[in-house]
Amino acid sequence: MAMKSRTQRILLFTFIGSIALCGLIGIYTLLTGNFGALEGMILGSTASAGGAAILALAAAIPTEKRRWHPIGPIGIAAALAALVMLLILIWVDAWRSELFVKALGCVLVLAVAFPHVGLLSLARLRKSFEWIRALTILAIALLATLIISIICFKLHESDDLWRGMGTLAILSVCGTIAVPVLHRVSAIRDENAIQTTALVLTLTCPRCSSSQTLPAGRSKCASCGLRFNIEIEEEHCPKCGYAIYKLTSANCPECGTPVAQPTASPA
């Protein structure tokens, strides 16, 4: 998918660059057999930058599409805060305290949870499917709350808490898989429902010369029974199915996807 903004491109290139740098460091250590503290800190820093970039990229997409504001900006802020705290933890010995590590753990949870919810907001679902997304988001929120509680209050001795976390994790994963599938199902139905004209055609039967109006699809002449297969395809956005007949802009007004300009109808 093409990046539609400068912010998304910068985050993507940051991610790619950090992965490439991690790979180069790994190759260097394998070839030289020299892996010390400095190489470890550089490797940790580049890995942290790559992780923060991909999380911020996930949060930037709903931000630019103005979906469920301010979920996206909070996700970007949490990802950047987590990156700064990780770099401090890696490079500054004086900050390696239990309190700082706990704060970092909480920020990391938020840096994952908010972009996750932001991506789920992009799905356009039928009303009958909305409860699945709502249940998934609730599971993500409760799971994040439990993890933060464990980090802050050391509640890991409770077996019931771990069972609850496992249940919420399963619900989150299942919902995350289901929402994009339901988005596609909803898009197919919406595309089929969007019409700017009745999908019928008036024609003359080439065998019996009988004039008649027939619907799109398979049909036959009412007089002689000659079979027809009529295909009528309107212009739609390839991504969301929005009707683009007589569209004057270069992008779909519904989702922003670049679309080919339709041929103007004769006056």
Q: Is residue 3 pLDDT above 50, yes or no?
A: no
Mean of per-residue pLDDT scores for the chain: 82
Task: Annotate 77-90 with b (16+ C-beta within 10 A) or e (fewer).
Answer: bbbbbbbebbbebb
Please give the pLDDT value at position 260. Answer: 65
Q: How confident is the model at residue 259 (pLDDT cuts 50, 70, 90)?
A: confident
Place 77 in a pLDDT band, splitting at 50, 70 and 90: very high
Residues in CB range of 53: below 8 A, 6 or more apart: 11, 12, 14, 15, 18
Residue % of the chain over a pLDDT of 70: 87
Which residue ranges make up each domain of the chain? 1-122, 126-196, 200-230
pLDDT tens, position by position, 88-98: 998 898 888 88
Q: What is the pLDDT of residues 187-196, one digit of tens each?
A: 665 545 455 5
Residue 21's pLDDT is: 80
pTM given for the model: 0.66
Instruction: With residue 39 as reference, give the H or E element that holds it.
Output: helix 37-64
Distance of CA 172 to the CA centre of its chain: 15
Share of the chain above pLDDT 90, in %: 31
Residue-wise pLDDT tens digits, 193-250: 455 566 778 889 888 988 988 887 788 888 898 888 887 777 777 766 677 777 777 7
Residue 30 has pLDDT above 90, yes or no: no
The whole-angstrom separation of Cα 77 and Cα 10 is 16
What is the per-residue pLDDT across 147-197, written as a single tens digit (0 to 9) for each?
998 888 876 667 788 888 999 999 999 999 999 999 888 766 554 545 556
Q: 197 to each of 151, 181, 201, 234, how far by Cα in Å? A: 59, 29, 11, 9
